[in-house]
């Protein structure tokens, strides 16, 4: 007998694994979102106006991604994590507190992207292998946009290296 197929025509076992990995990404985005909100609220110094707006742009984008990832998990037939205790347990992105220095905040944003981008590349490959175009398209879009953000935030810090 063949593999069990879920309601959107994907192999159920592969969908379950994708949903689990998407939940890790969801948790990472939620922690990253809260970190960036904190940077936005607490930023001080001569770059306040510039960074305050940039952090707002970033957390608004992360909030959209949180919703998209959660809805993708539901589309795959699974439940998204939805408590902060689960997010803190599942997220490889560390929680940050009381950061008011712009250079430090931007460095921590880059660190979060160094964690999130490989998660998304893993999901990109797994979704391709599973024939899951919906997850694949999301990850491809996220990766492309975030690679540009990494370049821009790195340039802000004066980093020319990879």
DSSP string, 54-79: HHHHHHHHHHHHHHHHHHHHHHTT--
Q: Is residue 1 part of a domain?
A: no
Give me the CATH number covering residue 27. Answer: 1.20.1260.10
Residue 47 lies in a domain: yes
Q: Note the pLDDT tens digit of each residue in 78-134.
A: 999 999 999 999 999 999 999 999 999 999 999 999 999 999 999 999 999 999 999
pLDDT digit string, tens, across residues 37-92: 999 999 999 999 999 999 999 999 999 999 999 999 999 999 999 999 999 999 99
Distance CA(35)–CA(96), nearest Å, equals: 6
The CA dihedral of 131, 139, 135, 125, to the nearest 10 degrees, is 30
Q: For residue 25, what are the domain limits? A: 12-156
**Inter-residue contact 73 to 22 (CB < 8 Å):** yes
CB 123, CB 94: distance < 8 Å: no
| CA atoms of 50 and 152, how far apart (whole Å) | 13
Would 5 be classed as within a structural domain? no
DSSP characters over 99-138: ---HHHHHHHHHHHHHHHHHHHHHHHHHHHHHT-HHHHHH
* Average pLDDT, integer, range 157-161: 78
pTM for the model: 0.95
Domain-located, residue 102: yes
Total domain count for the chain?
A: 1
> Residue 97 falls within a domain, yes or no?
yes
Is residue 7 included in any domain, yes or no? no
- Tell me, yes or no, whether 52 lies in a domain: yes
Q: Phi/psi class of residue 91: alpha, beta or left (left: φ > 0; alpha: ψ in -120 to 50)?
A: beta
What's the mean pLDDT when you consider all of the chain?
96
Q: Decide if pLDDT at 148 tops 70.
A: yes
Q: With respect to residue 116, please indicate whether it lies within any of the assigned structural domains.
A: yes
């Amino acid at each position: 007998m063949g593999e069990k197929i879920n309601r959107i025509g994907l192999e159920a076992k592969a969908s379950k694994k994708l949903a689990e990995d998407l939940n890790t990404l969801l948790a990472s985005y939620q922690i990253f979102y809260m970190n960036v909100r904190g940077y936005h609220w607490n930023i001080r110094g001569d770059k306040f106006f510039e960074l305050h707006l940039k952090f707002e742009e970033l957390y608004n984008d992360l909030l959209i991604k949180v919703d998209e990832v959660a809805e993708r998990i539901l589309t795959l037939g699974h439940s998204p994590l939805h408590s902060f205790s689960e997010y803190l347990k599942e997220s490889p992105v560390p929680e940050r507190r009381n950061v008011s220095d712009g250079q430090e905040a931007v460095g921590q944003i880059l660190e979060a992207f160094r964690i999130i981008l490989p998660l998304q590349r893993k999901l990109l490959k797994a979704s391709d292998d599973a024939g899951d175009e919906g997850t694949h398209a999301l990850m491809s879009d996220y990766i492309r946009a975030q690679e540009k953000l990494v370049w821009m935030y790195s340039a802000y810090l004066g980093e020319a290296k990879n």
